[in-house]
C-alpha cells in the first residue's frame, strides 16, 4: 500500500486552471499512467461514463468540475496526492481550499487561449498561499496552438519568470512528440493510449534549434539561481544533474515557473509532466507551513513535517457521504491513528477518530494511521470547513481561509410543503460544505434567502437539492446585493424624549456622518469626540450599538449602509431618565437625520466580465455588453477569437448566458467575478426607491 512512502517521496499537488483548459482530462491521464484506473473516459464522453474525477452526475452532464476531488497515485516510488480543482469562477472557494493544503500545483493553460481571466484569478490565489507551480501548456494538437506565445503571456500577464524545459515536435495536427532540453533527447508516445514512452535522438532538422533553446533555458535559470549562475559565468561544463537541482531550487523558492507542454487528450507529454512533478515540486518538508499560536497572541509558528511532533491537521473540505460526514484533512505535523482523541480548536471539543480512509474520487481505502504530509479523510467528526485539529497539547490554528463576499441572492422555497425537512437538511449541509453559500431568513417577508457567488453557483445547489434530497425548489427573481452610502458630510442633533408613568426616557446626541476614504478596510467607523462629559462614559457604547443597528438598513432601499464614519461630539443626559436604551434609540434616530442630510446614494455590485467568441461575432458581443450598461475595458483578437473584458452591473447580467449563446451560435463563453461597488445611475435609483416604497406600503397595509 502506498501509504508508507517516505515523506521525501510525497507530493501534494493540485491541478488548477481556467474552465475548459483540460484539467480533468489531465487528471484522468495521470490516474491511467500511474495504474489507478485501467481505461480512459472523456469528460463529455460518448460512453456516458464520464471522467472518474467528476463523480457527481451534475458534473458529468455539464462537463465541468464543481467539487475538488481528491485521489492519490504512485509514480515510480513517489506517492502523489492529487486534488482536481474546479475552474469556474463561481466555485473559487473550492480552489482556495485546495490551494491552502497543497505544496505545489500544475497550472494548466490552453495552447490556443493562453492565459485567460480565470488563470489570472487562480494565479492570484496561488501567490496568496505561496504555492510553487509548473505550467503545462495543454491542447498542443489544436489548430492555432502556440507554445511560445503562451509562455510569453506568463511573463506579460502574470509576472512569472517562465522557463521552457521542452520543445514540441510539430504542432497542431502534426504534433508528434517532445524534446527534453535538459536531457537533450526526443520523446514519442506510442500505444493505443500513449502509454509506451519511446526515447530517441533529436531529429536532425531540429538539433540546432534545440541547442540554442537549451542555452537560453540555462541562461534563464542562471538568472534566478546563484549556484548555476556562478557556473554559467565561469563557462564551466554544466551537467544535467546540476540543471535539475537548480530548476528545483528556483521553482520551490517561487523564483521561476518551469513551462512544459503536451496534449492530455491525445495522450502526449503527461508522463514527462509526472517526472517533473517529482523532480521540481516540493515534498511536505520543503513547503513552509505556518500556524498561529492562540496562547501567544496569534504569533506565527512554523510547523514541521515531523511525525514525532504534536499533531496539527486542517479540515479543508466536508462532504456528506453514504456513511455520514466525510472530513478531508491535511496533516501538517505529527501523526493520527484510529481511536485517537483530537481537539477541534474552534470550539475546544474533544473527538475520537473512528475511521481514517484514503480517497480515490468517490472510492475509499481504509488505513490505520496517517502522518505529517498526508491528505486523508476521516469519518464521524463534526466540524466546519477550515477548522484546525490538534492533539490538545498545543493551541494552534492554521490561518483562516479567505472567503469572498456573496454578490447574488435568491428567495427559495420548497415546491411541496412535505419536502420541508429535506429542504432544511440540504441547506444545512451545503452551508457547512461551502462557506461562500449562505442562507438566511428574511424576517419581514418570512422567505428563505440563499446567497452565493453567481447565477451558476446557486443554480447548481438548487439542482442538487432536487437530485440528492428529492426536493423541488421554487426560486424567485435573483436579488442583487445592493449597498447604500453617503456622498457628503451630514450633521445631526437628535433629542429622544418620552414621558410615561414612572421614569421617562431622555437622551440627546449630536455629531455628523462623513464618507470614509474609498480604500478603507472597514465599512463603518465610530469616533467618540465627546469632551466635558456631556454624555457619560457608560452610555457611549450604547450610542455605538445604535449606529451599528442603523447601518444595517439604509432608508433609501433598505440595504446595508457602507463606507461611513459616525462622529459624536455633543449631547445631553438626564440624571434619572437617561438609560442605555434611550441613548441607543437616540443614536438610531440621529443617524437617520444625519443620513438624510448627507446625500445618500445607492451602490450596486459591478462584475468584471470576460467574453470569448469567434471574431465574426465581435459586433454583437460588444453591442450586448453596451446594452447591459457595460463599460468595455479592452478587446483583443487572437487566432480568430475575440476576447472582450468589461465591467457590467450584476443587475443587468441575469439571463446573459442565454443571450450570448443565441448571438454567437452557441460558440461564445464568458466568466464573471466581482470587481467593485459603484453608484447606480439616477433613473435606476429612482426606480429602486419607488419599488421599495411600494413594498413598504404593501407591508403596512397587510399589518393593518
Known binding-site residues for GTP equal 17-24, 84-88, 138-141
Which residue ranges are tagged as binding site? 17-24, 84-88, 138-141
The order of strands in the sheet holding 289-293 is 299-303, 289-293, 396-398
Task: Report how far residue 423's alpha carbon sits from residue 465's, in angstroms, rounded to the nearest whole number.
Answer: 7
What is the CA 37 to chain-centroid distance, rounded? Answer: 29
Collapse the DSSP code of 7 into the 3-class scheme (helix H, G, I; strand E, B; otherwise coil) and give the result: helix
169 closest CA partner among 216, 106, 213: 213
Is 379 within 8 Å of 324 (Cβ atoms)? yes
Taken in order 531, 532, 536, 538, the sign of the CA dihedral is positive
Kindly state the helix (H) or strand (E) to which residue 153 belongs, with its residue range.
helix 147-158
Residue 511, phi-psi category: left (phi > 0), alpha (psi -120 to 50), beta (remainder): left
Alpha-carbon distance values, 14 to 87, 457, 495 (Å): 12, 22, 61
Q: CB count, 10 Å around CB of 588?
A: 19
The answer to whether the beta carbons of residues 487 and 513 sit under 8 Å apart is no
* DSSP 8-state code for residue 450: E
**Residue among 381, 355, 372 nearest 310 (CA):** 372
Compute the distance between CA of residue 530 and CA of residue 69 in angstroms, rounded to an integer: 57
| Cβ count near 188 (within 10 Å) | 15
The C-alpha atoms of residue 525 and residue 494 are separated, in whole angstroms, by: 20
Angle, in degrees to the nearest 10, between helices 580-597 and 540-551: 50
DSSP string, 335-349: EEETT-EEEETTTTE
CB within 8 A of 8, min separation 6: which ones?
A: 283, 285
Which grid coordinates are listed for 531?
Answer: 469632551
In the DSSP assignment, the letter for residue 512 is E
Alpha-carbon distance of 282 to 10, in angstroms, equals 9
Locate cell 490554528: which residue? 397
Q: Which residues contact 648 (CB under 8 A, 6 or more apart)?
A: 606, 607, 609, 625, 628, 629, 630, 631, 672
- Write the DSSP symbol of residue 372: T
Q: Which residue has the cell 448627507?
A: 598
Tell me how far the alpha carbon of residue 367 is from its chain's centroid. 30
CB 116 within 8 A of CB 17: no
CA-wise closest residue to 469 among 412, 425, 430, 437: 425
Q: Which residues contact 452 (CB under 8 A, 6 or more apart)?
A: 90, 406, 408, 436, 437, 438, 458, 461
- H-helix or E-strand spanning residue 11: strand 10-17
With 0-12 / 13-18 / 19 or more C-beta atoms within 10 angstroms meaning exposed / middle / buried, residue 129 is middle
What is the greatest pairwise CA distance in the chain?
Answer: 104
CA atoms within 13 A on the CB side of 389: 27
Amino acid at each position: 500500500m502506498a501509504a508508507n512512502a517516505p515523506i521525501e517521496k510525497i507530493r501534494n499537488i493540485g491541478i488548477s486552471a481556467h474552465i475548459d483548459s483540460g484539467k480533468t482530462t489531465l487528471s484522468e491521464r495521470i490516474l491511467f499512467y500511474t495504474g489507478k484506473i485501467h481505461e480512459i473516459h472523456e469528460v463529455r464522453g460518448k460512453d456516458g461514463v464520464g471522467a472518474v474525477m467528476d463523480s457527481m452526475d451534475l458534473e458529468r452532464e455539464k462537463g465541468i468540475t464543481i467539487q475538488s476531488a481528491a485521489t492519490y497515485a504512485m509514480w515510480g516510488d513517489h506517492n502523489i496526492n492529487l486534488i482536481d480543482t474546479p475552474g469556474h469562477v463561481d466555485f473559487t472557494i473550492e480552489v482556495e481550499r485546495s490551494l491552502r493544503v497543497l505544496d505545489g500545483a500544475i497550472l494548466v493553460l490552453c495552447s490556443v487561449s493562453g492565459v485567460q481571466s480565470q488563470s489570472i484569478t487562480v494565479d492570484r490565489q496561488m501567490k496568496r498561499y505561496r504555492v510553487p507551480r509548473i505550467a503545462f501548456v495543454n491542447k498542443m494538437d489544436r489548430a492555432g496552438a502556440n507554445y511560445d506565445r503562451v509562455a510569453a503571456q506568463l511573463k506579460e500577464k502574470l509576472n512569472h519568470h517562465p522557463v521552457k524545459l521542452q520543445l514540441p515536435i510539430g504542432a497542431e495536427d502534426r504534433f508528434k512528440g517532445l524534446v527534453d532540453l535538459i536531457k537533450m533527447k526526443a520523446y514519442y508516445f506510442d500505444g493505443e493510449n500513449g502509454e509506451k514512452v519511446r526515447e530517441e535522438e533529436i531529429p536532425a532538422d531540429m538539433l540546432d534549434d534545440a541547442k540554442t533553446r537549451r542555452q537560453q533555458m540555462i541562461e534563464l535559470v542562471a538568472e534566478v539561481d546563484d549556484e548555476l549562475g556562478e557556473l554559467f559565468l565561469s563557462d564551466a561544463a554544466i551537467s544535467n544533474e546540476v540543471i535539475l537541482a537548480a530548476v528545483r531550487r528556483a521553482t520551490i523558492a517561487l523564483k521561476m515557473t518551469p513551462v512544459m507542454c503536451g496534449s492530455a487528450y491525445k495522450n502526449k507529454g503527461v508522463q514527462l509532466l509526472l517526472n517533473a512533478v517529482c523532480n521540481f515540486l516540493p515534498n511536505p518538508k520543503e513547503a513552509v507551513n505556518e500556524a498561529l499560536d492562540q496562547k501567544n497572541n496569534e504569533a506565527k509558528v512554523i510547523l514541521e513535517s515531523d511525525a514525532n511532533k504534536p499533531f496539527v491537521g486542517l479540515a479543508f473540505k466536508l462532504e456528506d457521504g453514504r456513511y455520514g460526514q466525510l472530513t478531508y484533512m491535511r496533516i501538517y505535523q505529527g501523526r493520527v491513528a484510529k481511536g485517537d482523541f483530537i481537539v477541534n480548536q474552534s470550539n475546544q471539543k474533544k473527538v475520537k477518530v473512528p475511521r481514517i480512509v484514503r480517497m480515490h474520487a468517490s472510492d475509499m481505502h481504509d488505513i490505520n494511521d496517517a502522518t505529517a504530509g498526508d491528505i486523508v479523510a476521516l469519518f464521524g467528526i463534526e466540524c466546519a470547513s477550515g477548522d484546525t485539529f490538534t492533539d490538545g497539547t498545543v493551541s494552534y490554528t492554521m490561518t483562516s481561509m479567505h472567503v469572498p463576499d456573496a454578490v447574488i441572492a435568491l428567495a427559495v422555497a420548497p415546491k411541496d410543503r412535505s419536502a420541508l425537512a429535506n429542504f432544511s437538511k440540504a441547506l444545512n449541509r451545503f452551508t457547512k460544505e461551502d462557506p461562500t453559500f449562505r442562507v438566511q431568513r428574511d424576517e419581514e417577508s418570512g422567505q428563505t434567502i440563499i446567497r452565493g457567488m453567481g447565477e451558476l453557483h446557486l443554480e447548481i445547489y438548487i439542482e442538487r437539492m432536487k437530485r440528492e434530497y428529492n426536493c423541488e425548489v421554487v426560486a424567485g427573481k435573483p436579488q442583487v446585493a445592493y449597498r447604500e452610502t453617503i456622498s457628503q458630510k451630514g450633521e445631526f442633533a437628535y433629542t429622544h424624549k418620552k414621558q410615561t408613568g414612572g421614569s421617562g426616557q431622555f437622551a440627546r446626541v449630536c455629531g455628523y456622518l462623513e464618507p470614509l476614504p474609498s480604500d478603507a478596510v472597514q465599512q463603518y467607523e465610530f469616533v467618540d469626540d465627546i469632551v466635558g462629559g456631556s454624555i457619560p462614559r457608560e452610555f457611549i457604547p450604547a450610542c455605538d450599538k445604535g449606529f451599528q443597528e442603523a447601518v444595517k438598513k439604509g432608508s433609501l432601499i433598505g440595504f446595508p449602509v457602507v463606507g461611513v464614519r459616525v462622529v459624536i461630539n455633543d449631547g445631553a443626559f438626564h440624571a434619572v431618565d437617561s438609560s442605555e436604551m434611550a441613548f441607543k434609540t437616540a443614536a438610531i434616530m440621529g443617524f437617520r437625520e444625519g443620513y438624510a442630510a448627507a446625500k445618500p446614494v445607492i451602490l450596486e455590485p459591478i462584475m468584471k466580465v470576460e467574453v470569448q467568441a469567434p471574431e465574426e461575432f465581435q459586433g454583437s458581443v460588444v453591442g450586448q455588453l453596451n446594452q447591459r450598461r457595460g463599460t468595455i475595458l479592452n478587446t483583443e483578437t487572437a487566432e480568430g477569437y475575440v476576447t472582450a473584458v468589461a465591467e457590467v452591473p450584476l443587475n443587468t447580467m441575469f439571463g446573459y448566458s442565454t443571450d450570448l449563446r443565441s448571438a454567437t451560435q452557441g460558440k461564445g463563453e464568458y466568466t464573471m467575478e466581482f470587481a467593485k461597488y459603484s453608484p447606480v445611475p439616477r433613473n435606476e435609483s429612482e426606480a429602486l426607491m419607488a419599488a421599495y416604497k411600494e413594498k413598504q406600503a404593501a407591508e403596512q397595509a397587510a399589518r393593518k
